Amino acid sequence: MPDSAESVTKSPSPRLWHMRRTEVAGAAGLAAVLGGVVAGVTVGAPAGAAAAVAVAACGAIALWFVRNRFRAWTYQERDDDLLVSRGVLIRRLSVVPYGRMQFVDVTAGPVERVYRLATVKLHTAAAASDARIPGLERDEAARLRDRLAALGEAKAAGL
């Protein structure tokens, strides 16, 4: 197996960022409008504007957070194990040997489906192992799933 080709560090699709951005911006926009209207009606127009701005600012911070989180998420298919690193505040790095894999989960929620994305999760017999990669394009998710399944079978080890 050519090592160089396999151990490239990859990231989730940029569409994951688009999806998260839309989710956060949509939710924050809605909250800003609602908050502004409620505060505007009950207290007065200036208070309404202030509330809307405050909520929008919170949304912007959340957006910044989500972007960092998206950028921090990487994975690497090495010869014998899958390496997933993620997290901004709490940084996590998981190394899961292919031989320890019990099954692979590919899930796509309604929003993910709109963006043609899927989440791949590797399960081992240990409850604590968390090798999850969100926002993979469908082809990449299918490729990863098949490759993990094949490698898992080839290198399987008993408990």
Partner 1 sequence: MSDERPDEVWHRLHPLSPLVRSARGLLAVLALIAISQGMRSGGSHIYDIVVPVAAAIAAVISWLVTRWRLDGSTLRIETGLLRRDSRQLPVARIQAVDVVRPFLARALGLAELRVRLAGSSHADGRLAYLPEQAAVELRARLLAAHHGLDPATPAPEERVLVTVPGGRLVGSVVLSSASLVVLLMIAEVVVALVVPAVLAATGGTLAVWLVSLGPVVWRRLATQYGFTVAESPDGLRIRRGLLSTVAETIPLRRVQAVRMIEPLLWRPLGWCRLEIDVAGSPGRDRSDGSGRMRKTLLPVGGHDVAGQLMRTVLGTEPPALRHPPRRARQKAPLSYHFLASGHDAATAMAVTGRLRKVTTWLPLEKAQSIRLVEGPVQRRLGLATVHVDAAGKDVRAEFRDRPGDEARRLVDELAALSRTARQLSQAGGGS
Site membership for partner 1, residue 127 (CB under 8 A): yes
Nearer to partner 1, 5 or 90 (CB): 90
- Site size with partner 1, rule: CB under 8 A: 24
Q: For tokens 């926009």, what's the residue?
A: 29
Whole-number Cα distances in Å, 53 to 29, 36, 37, 40, 67: 10, 8, 12, 12, 21
The one segment of 19-27, 55-63, 92-100, 110-118 that binds partner 1 by CB under 8 A: 92-100
Task: Provide the minimum distance between the beta carbon of 149 and partner 1 in the complex, in angstroms, as a whole number.
Answer: 17
**Bridge partner residues of 84 (DSSP):** 75, 94
* 66 φ, ψ (degrees, to nearest 5): -65, -35
Site membership for partner 1, residue 77 (CB under 8 A): no
Site membership for partner 1, residue 1 (CB under 8 A): no
134 closest CA partner among 36, 35, 14? 14
Q: In the complex, which residues of this chain contact partner 1 (CB under 8 A)?
A: 80-81, 89-97, 99-100, 124-131, 157-159
